[in-house]
Amino acid sequence: MEEKLEFTIASRADLEKIYHLIEKTGWGETLEEINRCFTVSPFGFLLLSGEKAKEIIAVAWFVSYGSFGFIGMVVVEPDYRGMGIGQAIMEEALA
């Protein structure tokens, strides 16, 4: 049976989990930098989590400035790479 994956918008309560995923993958953002991202875009972190483990599998940060915006900090848990998850979270962020 395939694990169900769920997209959610992160809250500041997810800050540590986001940081640990980013740290694990070597991106280098600090906890303070990620916290500042919440200040800039409080609803801007999109998470993809696994139903079974309740772990964060992927994260993307997006900011909208009305008619334009950007997506960054797209990170996928190493064990889940090569499965189309990066593409899936980008498509969800663009939706």
In the beta sheet, which residues pair with residue 64? 69
- Give me the DSSP letters along 25-86: TT----HHHHHHHHHH-TT-EEEEEETTT--EEEEEEEEE-SS-EEEEEEEE-GGGTTSSHH
d(C-alpha 19, C-alpha 95), whole Å:
24
Total-model pTM: 0.85
Predicted confidence (pLDDT) per residue in 3-20, tens digit: 678 899 999 999 999 999
d(C-alpha 40, C-alpha 62), whole Å:
10
Predicted confidence (pLDDT) per residue in 75-88, tens digit: 999 988 999 999 99
Q: Residues 61, 73: contact at Cβ < 8 Å? A: yes
